[in-house]
Structures are given as C-alpha cells and as structure tokens.
Amino acid sequence: MTAPFRVPTPPDLADRLGSPDALVRLDGVAKTYPARRGAAPVAALDGIDLSLRRGAVLGVIGRSGAGKSTLIRLVNGLERPSRGRVVVDGAEISSLPEAALRRERRGIGMIFQHFNLLSSRTAAENVAFPLEIAGAERAAIRARVDELLDLVGLTQQRDRYPAELSGGQKQRVGIARALATNPKVLLSDEATSALDPETTGAILDLLGRINRDLGLTILLITHEMSVIRAIAHEVAVLENGRIAESGDVFEVFTRPRAAITRSFLDRETGRALPPVLAAQLRPEGQGETNVLRITFRGPHATDPVLAQLAREGGVEACILSGTVDEIAGRPFGTLVVGVSAAPGVTARAQAFLAARQLGVEVLGSLPASAWPIPPSAPSSSGRPDVA
C-alpha cells in the first residue's frame, strides 16, 4: 500500500511567497490566565493581529514573559484564547470541539526546545509514534520513517535511543517526528536554545532547506535575532503581550522603529557602542565628539562612504564600532563613528549621508578623554585643517 503521508511536490517558491493567502491568522487574540492564590489575573496576550503567509517563515521574537509560548500554544490549540480567533488553513482552531481539534493537530507539526522524545523508543520509533496514533499501516509507517530519517541525515542512527544521541541529533529526530503526518505548518518553540552555536547553525540550515524544498510554512519562536536573520522572511516583535513591530525581516532589521527591536539589534548587528564608550555617552552637544550611527542599505550600501564624506563633505570620521553583513540576501552594514562636535560638522555629515540614502542618527556625545579620537574642526573652506 502506498504511504498516505507523502511529502508534496514543492510549489514554485516565488508563487508561494507572493501569495496573499494566510495559512495561519490570529485576529484580535487575547489570553488572560485566571488569578491564583490571591494573585491578579495575568494578561499574557492582548489584541494580537498576526498572519503567516503560506510557504513563508515567520519569526516571533520577544523577551521572557512577552507571550511567545502562549502564542504558539494558541496556534496548535493547547490553549484557547480569552478573546479573538485563531485560524489555521480555514479551520478556526480556537472554537473546535476536542475531537475535531485532534484531527486538525495532525496538520500542525511541533518541535520543542528540549526535544520531548520518548526515552524508551529508538529514533525510528519516535518518528513512527504519530503515525501509529493516526492509524497508518505498518508498511506505510516504515516507508515514511525511512524517508524522514534520510531527510534529516539520521539513517545510521535509526536504532539508537535518545540517551545515545547528541543534542543536535535529538532535535533532528524531533523535526522528523514533527513532519511525520505531513503537516501544513511547522511550529518551532525555541528549538535551538539548548544547542551550541555550530549545532544551532546546522539545525537552522535544515529548517531552511525544509521550507525551500518542501514548501512548508514555519512559525518559529525565539529570543535571538540571529535565528530570525538566518531563515525568517518576516518577523513580529512581542513586548508585554502586544506586537511592538512586524514586517519584512530586512526592513525591520535595517529600519527598526520600536525601542525593543533596537535593543535586540544592538546586541546582534554591531549597532551598539563598545561598553567602555556607552558608559561615557552624554547628550548631544555636551562633549567634544558627536557619535553617529550610520546604517548602510540600498544602492550605496557598498560605497566607500567615509572616504567620500572626508573628501567631498569635508568631515573626518573615526570608526568606533561596526559590522558588514547580509540579511535576506541583501547587503547591510552598520558603522558607529565619531565626528567633531564643532558647530555645523554633525549637520553637514547627516545631510551628506542622507543624500546617499543611508540611515544616520546621533547617539550623543563623548568627552575628549573617552577615546583617542581627535576629529579635525573644519576650516573656513569647509575642509578639515591639514598641517
């Protein structure tokens, strides 16, 4: 008998990502947990409007307590919203009776931070478990398990127990198990948080390949912007149970609007000052050196801008920190620089950079003692004085 849970032929990637069809949608969702032992009720989520396009990867990021885990539990029906609707592929998960909800959950795969494998079952038996529950025939189960273990690179480990596997191998088993019933959407709840950086990269590469090759829609929960950057197409930033900011990953990373988004990015993308300088930062105009943060994106992202700023704009800049990277296949960089706080210098630098479609903001000022940077004051000609 042919296996009933075959992976479908992936649709064209451009068509998938261009489709307005939302596979997962949360409309006005709120979740409040009742009071316990005299404590006040806890509002975990409040007024969440969110959609996940079919075939896309959406990353939801937030600090501990922001409501991330509650959100993902609402999507798979482990929690019911206090208000609003949760819809997955046309089915209103939030209002289904228990029997119907169990059927719908077969189309929602889930991978966990701590793997949640059955210790008494081998890797192959863990992958087979959801198929057994679904009532698939033995031959179909074996064929599907073989297919999935090959997909995640664990064919040689099929008969090993979880205690005999590394953390990365356990998570690969978890991914294979989540794919067993050919789900419509894959939910990832901090799936790389318990792994070392190298293993994290390998798991994210695997998830990205699954999205590309199988056309699988993925919703991932994380507290790390590096995870979002690695595989997500879109991002939503949660803060205190509300969405602070959402949109295309490149747009959010390069033009963050919310303070919490900027704080995440400061740690991950070279936007922040070195701690020794950040501790001495003063409001603009109260030091000898003004500190500018330049965001490189668009057609001038790879231009020698600082050299042009000195040569054509008459402003010398000293690099304090920075990074050059690629986000969603597009060049992006950040430089934090110091320029003279002499009258007119900062404004001229800002105008020069803005004219080249680069982002620029003044972070503050540093005293002369903060760093050995003596940017030249401009001469009357608008050029730096040169001895």
**Half-sphere CA count of 11, side-chain side, radius 13 A:** 12
How many other CB atoms are there within 10 angstroms of residue 134's CB atom? 15
Name the DSSP letter for residue 293. Answer: E
Of residues 59, 63, 62, 91, the one with CA closest to residue 77? 91
Does the pLDDT value for residue 212 go beyond 50? yes
* Domain boundary residue, one of 265, 294, 313: 265
Tokens of 105: 């959950």
- Comparing 148 with 65, which gets the higher pLDDT? 148
Q: Which phi and psi angles does 373 have, rounded to 5°?
A: -125, 110
Residues contacting residue 236 through CB under 8 Å, at least 6 positions apart: 50, 58, 59, 60, 61, 243, 245, 246
Q: How confident is the model at residue 372 (pLDDT cuts 50, 70, 90)?
A: low
Lowest mean pLDDT among 102-111, 270-279, 361-370, 376-385: 376-385
* Predicted pLDDT at 20: 54
Please check whether residues 112 and 174 belong to one and the same domain.
yes
Angle at 68 between CA 97 and CA 264, to 5 degrees: 160
Q: Are residues 239 and 295 in the same domain?
A: no
Same domain, yes or no: 212 and 73: yes
Provide mean pLDDT across the span 273-288: 85
CATH number at residue 180: 3.40.50.300
Say if 384 falls within a structural domain: no
Contact 297, 330 (CB under 8 A): yes
Give 326's pLDDT tier (boundaries 50, 70, 90): confident
pLDDT-based confidence at residue 371 (cuts at 50, 70, 90): low
Q: Quick one: average pLDDT of 147-174?
A: 96
Q: Which residues contact 195 (CB under 8 A, 6 or more apart)?
A: 167, 168, 171, 203
Cα dihedral 94/246/268/224 (nearest 10): 0
Whether 180 and 93 map to the same domain: the answer is yes
Helical (H) or strand (E) element with 370: none
Residue 201 sits in the same domain as residue 305: no
- Predicted confidence (pLDDT) at residue 90 exceeds the cutoff of 80: yes
Q: Domain total for the chain?
A: 2
Cβ(317)–Cβ(340) below 8 Å: no
Does 229 lie in the same domain as 330?
no
> pLDDT grade, residue 38 (50/70/90)?
confident
Read off the pLDDT of each residue in 278-304 and give the average, rounded to a whole number: 85
Q: Residue 376 — pLDDT band, cuts 50, 70, 90?
A: very low
Quote the distance between the C-alpha of residue 353 and its chain's center: 29
User: Do residue 81 and residue 133 come from a single domain?
Assistant: yes
**Range scoring the smallest mean pLDDT among 34-43, 171-180, 193-202, 284-293:** 34-43
Q: Round to whole Å and give the CA distance between 154 and 172.
A: 8
Whether 2 maps to a domain, the answer reads no
Asked if pLDDT for residue 375 goes beyond 70, the answer is: no
| Residue 310 falls inside a structural domain | yes
Domain's final residue, options 265, 299, 334: 265
Residues 279 and 236 in one domain: no
Q: Does 264 have pLDDT greater than 80?
A: yes
Q: Tell me, yes or no, whether 313 and 231 share the same domain.
A: no
**Domain enclosing residue 211, as ranges:** 13-265
Residues 103, 240 within the same domain: yes
pLDDT on residue 268: 66
CB atoms inside a 10 Å sphere around CB 5? 20
- Most confident option among 31-45, 59-73, 355-369: 59-73
The continuous run of DSSP H or E covering 337 comes out as: strand 330-340
Residue 5 lies in a domain: no
pLDDT at 138: 94
Tell me what the mean pLDDT of segment 163-180 comes to.
96
Q: CB 28: neighbour CB atoms within 10 A? A: 12
**Residue 269: per-residue pLDDT:** 60
Mean pLDDT of the chain, nearest integer: 86
Helices 305-313 and 345-354, axial angle in degrees (round to 10): 120
Q: What is the pLDDT of residues 217-258, one digit of tens each?
A: 999 999 888 899 889 999 999 999 999 999 999 899 888 899
Q: What percent of the chain has pLDDT over 70?
A: 88
Q: What share of the chain is helix, strand, coil (3-state, %, to 5)?
A: 35, 25, 35
Query: 7 lies in a domain?
Result: no
Kindly tell me if the per-residue pLDDT of 321 is higher than 80: yes
| CB neighbourhood size of 139 (10 A) | 11
Q: Is residue 50, in this structure, part of any structural domain at all?
A: yes
pLDDT tens digits along 299-310 = 777 788 899 999
Domain assignment present for 293? yes
Does the global pTM surpass 0.85?
Answer: no
**382 part of a folded domain:** no
pLDDT at 359: 87
Q: Last residue of some domain: 235, 265, 295?
A: 265
DSSP letter string, 111-165: EETT----TTS-HHHHHHHHHHHHT--HHHHHHHHHHHHHHTT-GGGTT--GGGS
pLDDT mean over 122-135: 95
Question: Is the pLDDT confidence value at 383 over 80?
Answer: no
CATH of the domain at 289: 3.30.70.260
Q: Is the pLDDT of residue 377 over 50?
A: no
The torsion defined by the Cα of 382, 383, 384 and 385, in degrees rounded to 10, comes to -90
Same-domain check for residues 357 and 325: yes
Phi, psi angles (nearest 5°) of residue 144: -70, -40
pLDDT higher for 270 or 332? 332
Mean pLDDT, rounded, for 359-375:
76
Kind plus residue range of the DSSP H or E element containing 258: none
Contact 225, 191 (CB under 8 A): no
Q: Give the CA diameter of the chain.
A: 87
Co-location of 256 and 311 in the same domain: no
